Amino acid sequence: MNTRTISLLLLFFMMSLPKVFAQEQAENPIIFADVPDLSMVKHGDNYYMSSTTMHMSPGVPIMKSKDLVNWEIVSYAYDTLADIPELRLEAGKNAYGRGSWASSLRFHDGRFYVSTFSGTTGKTYIFSSEDPESGKWEKASFSPSLHDNSLVFDNGKVYMIYGGGSIRIVELESDFSGVKPETDHVLIENASAPAGEDIMLPAEGSQLFKHDGKYYLFHITWPRNGMRTVVIHRADNLLGPYKGKLALQDLGVAQGGLIEGPDGNWFSYLFRDYGAVGRIPYLVPVVWKDGWPVLGKDGKVPEKLELPKSKGLIPGIVASDEFKRENAENSLPLVWQWNHNPENDYWSLKEKPGYLRLTNFRKDTTFLQTRNTLTQRTFGPKSSAEISLELGGLKNGDVAGLGLLQSKYGLVGIRKEKDRLSLISMKGENGKNWIEESIPYNSETVFLKVVCDFENKKDEAQFYFSEDGENWKSIGSILKMEYKLTHFMGYRFALFNYATQETGGFADFDYFRMSE
């Protein structure tokens, strides 16, 4: 090989480097799944993040990352929020769209703290732990429920900033048992003002940060006929006065705060409403100018980030499960959450080792009121879930299978009537449900699958069945998924079994397998 050829090859390689490196960069969204209301802290070489899962149990997931891009769930702040009918799906009650909302994650004096609030119980909660990965969180609670609160430790005192439109601050008792009397006052009268006068959603989602001696308070607001917008207020003192600026108005990416990256660069963590898949996290580069954080590149949310490439959401945020446990251990990976509080005596990985058994202990009439429905997030741009289900334990009136959980839902399953099995496709919305298709079924095992397409907000899902797990046939019509505020959550894959005639029937799930 002569010198000229070597030079040309080197030139070609050098010209290709930017393209190669660009392909190795992280991309927005950093998580294409429902992980809203982010709150982050950096501790040593680790990042920790809390999020909202509302009516799911366990609740307030805690996630960990080394690079702000690749995350895994490491614990939950609580197993169950409270033992009340709304959270047990009893007496016709539910906590859909409520449960616990936006959390605030902090590290102070050797402990991690995560606060949240609940419209279901009317309380504010503060959980604390020396080790956020241990799953051992101590709970304190008090009334009232302080909306979108931000926990603040400052000069030996603890505060909460909260509210919507008019932002308020209170000082808390040192043991987090309640609000100190006569400490509640207005911090910012109209926090939406930097975004204009015609506001549809008054400023909320408070998150406070201190940098170089100044206080920065992040909010989301939504101008009418506009988009979700980031507003930042700055002050020299915690109690103000605060001066506000419009910080970002692009793609509707908003609500979050500040975090220092692994290499010393700064980012704002935010999220975006993205149709049926839910509210998905974004990172936006930040530079500091004249004492203000400036978000985005030329005011825009970039597609590429100067961070490591994502390795995917599996298995840190979502994961397949073969339900095989050593020593028949009755525990589930952290990717799973129950729809409302579970009844632990009626699900098992021990009764038939290698299977998840869901046993009916009461009669229900709809998928949405069913106890012990086990869920995981759907994810984009496309995702699928497949199960194998043993049918020998079903009783007359039982319905078991694989669903997509939201207030407008769809499912594919097996129904047993008059000692005969039928494969059914069911849809439900606005308190009603109907069977679209019913096919006689004679085997003791069925394979069910659903494929979701969230790309460019297409938001469509199709259900399938198979007798052998290899040859698949579609059943029912395409489900046009819709994000409904009644649930306030992206669609979830859901394993279920409910009784309509008699209790005691059971369904054995052999595996749950998902793919991108």
* Cis check: omega of the bond before 353, within 30 degrees of 0: no
Q: What is the 3-state secondary structure (H, E, C) of 471-507?
A: CCEEEEEEEECCCCCCCCCCCEEEEEEEECCCCCCEE
Structural domain boundaries of the chain? 7-308, 326-515
pLDDT at 328: 61
Report how far residue 300's alpha carbon sits from residue 311's, in angstroms, rounded to the nearest whole number.
Answer: 25
pLDDT at 18: 47
DSSP code, position 88 = H
pLDDT at 329: 72
Closest CA to 383 of 323, 336, 449, 332: 449
Report how far residue 280's alpha carbon sits from residue 272's, in angstroms, rounded to the nearest whole number.
Answer: 5
DSSP string spanning 126-177? Answer: EEEES-TTS---EEEEESS--TT-EEEEETTEEEEEE-SSSEEEEEBPTTSS
What average pLDDT does range 267-279 have in this prediction? 98
pTM: 0.93
> Where do we find the tokens 């339900």?
323
Task: Report the sign of the C-alpha dihedral through residues 9, 12, 15, 18, in that order.
Answer: negative
Report how far residue 82's alpha carbon sits from residue 135's, in angstroms, rounded to the nearest whole number.
Answer: 18
Task: Assess whether pLDDT exceeds 70 at residue 11.
Answer: no
Task: Assess whether pLDDT exceeds 60 at residue 489.
Answer: yes
Q: What percent of the chain has a predicted confidence (pLDDT) above 70?
A: 95
Q: What is the largest CA-CA distance in the chain?
A: 84
Closest CA to 502 of 418, 410, 377, 413: 418
Q: What is the 3-state secondary structure (H, E, C) of 166-181?
A: CEEEEEECCCCCCECC
User: CATH for 326-515?
Assistant: 2.60.120.200
Q: Model confidence at 21, in pLDDT bands (50, 70, 90)?
A: very low
Task: Assess whether pLDDT exceeds 60 at residue 9.
Answer: no
Averaged pLDDT score across all residues of the chain: 95
Report how far residue 114's alpha carbon sits from residue 102's, in angstroms, rounded to the nearest whole number.
Answer: 10
Exposed/middle/buried for 224, CB within 10 Å: 0-12, 13-18, 19+?
Answer: exposed
Task: Assess whether pLDDT exceeds 90 at residue 3.
Answer: no
User: What confidence tens digit (pLDDT) does each residue in 328-359 have?
Assistant: 678 999 999 999 999 999 999 999 999 999 99
Tally of CB atoms within 10 A around 154: 15
pLDDT at 330: 83
What average pLDDT does range 393-421 have in this prediction? 98
Classify 255 in phi/psi space as left (phi over 0), alpha (psi -120 to 50) or beta: left
User: CATH for 7-308?
Assistant: 2.115.10.20
pLDDT at 135: 87
What average pLDDT does range 20-30 have in this prediction? 76
Classify 275 in phi/psi space as left (phi over 0), alpha (psi -120 to 50) or beta: left
pLDDT at 22: 43
Q: Please, which residues bridge with residue 48 across strands?
A: 41, 64
Report how far residue 499's alpha carbon sits from residue 416's, in angstroms, rounded to the nearest whole number.
Answer: 10
Task: Assess whether pLDDT exceeds 70 at residue 16.
Answer: no
What average pLDDT does range 195-215 have in this prediction? 97
User: What confidence tens digit (pLDDT) does each residue in 99-120 have?
Assistant: 999 999 999 999 999 999 999 9
Phi, psi values for residue 378, rounded to 5° = -75, 170
Report how far residue 75's alpha carbon sits from residue 309's, in angstroms, rounded to the nearest whole number.
Answer: 24
Exposed/middle/buried for 422, CB within 10 Å: 0-12, 13-18, 19+?
Answer: middle
Q: Model confidence at 326, in pLDDT bands (50, 70, 90)?
A: confident
Report how far residue 212's alpha carbon sits from residue 153's, in angstroms, rounded to the nearest whole number.
Answer: 16
pLDDT at 381: 98
Q: What percent of the chain has a predicted confidence (pLDDT) above 90?
A: 93
Is residue 408 within 8 A of residue 429, CB to CB? The reply is: yes
Report how far residue 395's alpha carbon sits from residue 414's, in angstroms, rounded to the nearest whole number.
Answer: 11
Report how far residue 165's alpha carbon sits from residue 133's, in angstroms, rounded to the nearest whole number.
Answer: 35
Identical fold, 7-308 and 326-515 = no
Give the helix/strand (H/E) hosting 74: strand 71-78
